[in-house]
């Protein structure tokens, strides 16, 4: 069967000096503009924004790290209140993340999720750039902050990393702080939690 082709005389228009003037018809219409600082737009529900992580559900399988097309996910060993988590948790680098949310689809336990917030702006300062590299917080917490402000911004104002003690502090927007320790990276656990911490870290670093 031959392809159906519309005749040229049906699609070709003759040039006109009068018709362009119809373009002026919007002169007195209301502009279709959203004045962003004054007006707000709601992102679609399930808009692919930042990640959330339920730390109790995460089993550290590293499926997310394997599927991530940008390799933005690194497994991190975390110590909260002096107790190390049994499994590593993903740390996401938003400098690389493409927000494809494959990691959320592949997560077998549903620990990794995402939320509609999508705005994260910083200056170029080294301190502020820490914001782009985080272990996501619990979905309920994130939801609470998002509902409180509804400006779709990153829920953490500042991330403070102490290089010596490897202690990380999240200063959330609603004034709360959230502290934990990063004791190691990778899938294999850092050497059994013994007292001399700095030595052990150096060893592990050299192994990777």
Partner 1 sequence: MFGTFLKALLIILYATFVGFMFMGIIRKVTARIHRRIGPPIYQPIIDTIKFLSKKENITHGIIYDFGIIFALGATILALMFIPLGSISIMRAYGDLILITFLLEIPMLGIMFAAMSSGNPYAGIGAQRALLTLLAIQVPLGFAIVALAEFYGTFSTYEIVMAQQTSGWSIFHLPLLLAAIAYDIVLQAMFGKEPFDIMIAPGEISLGPMVEFGGKHMGILQIQHAMGLFAETLFFSNIFLGGAVITTFSSPILNTLATLAVLLVKQLAVLLIAIFVSTIFPRFTIDQAAKFYWKWPTIIAALGAILASL
Q: Which residues form the interface with partner 1 (CB under 8 A)? A: 20-21, 23-24, 26-29, 31-33, 35
Q: Smallest gap, in angstroms, from Cβ of residue 13 to partner 1?
A: 15
Closest to partner 1 by CB, 11 vs 36, is 36
Q: Which residues contact 150 (CB under 8 A, 6 or more apart)?
A: 40
3-state secondary structure of 20: helix
Closest to partner 1 by CB, 6 vs 18, is 18
Closest to partner 1 by CB, 12 vs 25, is 25
How far, CA to CA in Å, does 125 sit from each of 26, 130, 131, 169, 172?
45, 9, 11, 18, 19
Q: Smallest gap, in angstroms, from Cβ of residue 179 to partner 1?
A: 45
Q: Smallest gap, in angstroms, from Cβ of residue 133 to partner 1?
A: 36
Closest to partner 1 by CB, 32 vs 41, is 32
With beta carbons less than 8 A apart as the criterion, state whether 138 and 52 touch.
Answer: yes
Q: Smallest gap, in angstroms, from Cβ of residue 31 to partner 1?
A: 5
Q: Which residues contact 185 (CB under 8 A, 6 or more apart)?
A: 74, 75, 76, 77, 91, 208
CA atoms within 13 A on the CB side of 4: 0
């Amino acid at each position: 069967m031959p392809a159906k082709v519309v005749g040229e005389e049906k699609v070709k228009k003759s040039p006109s000096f009068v018709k362009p003037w119809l373009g002026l018809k919007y002169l007195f219409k209301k502009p279709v503009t959203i004045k962003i600082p004054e007006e707000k737009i709601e992102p679609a529900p399930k808009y692919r924004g930042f990640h959330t992580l339920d730390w109790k559900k995460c089993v550290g399988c590293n499926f997310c790290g394997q599927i991530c097309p940008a390799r933005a996910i690194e497994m991190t060993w975390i110590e909260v209140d002096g107790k190390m988590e049994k499994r590593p948790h993903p740390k996401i680098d938003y400098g690389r993340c493409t927000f494809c949310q494959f990691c959320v689809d592949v997560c077998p336990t549903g620990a990794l999720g995402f939320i509609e917030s999508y705005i994260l702006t910083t200056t170029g300062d080294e301190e502020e750039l820490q914001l782009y590299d985080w272990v996501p917080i619990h979905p309920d917490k994130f939801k609470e902050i998002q509902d409180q402000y509804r400006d779709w911004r990153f829920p953490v104002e500042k991330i403070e990393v102490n290089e010596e003690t490897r202690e990380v502090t999240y200063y959330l927007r609603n004034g709360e702080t959230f502290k934990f320790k990063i004791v190691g990276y990778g899938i294999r656990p850092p050497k059994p939690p013994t007292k001399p911490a700095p030595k052990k870290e150096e060893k592990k670093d050299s192994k990777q």
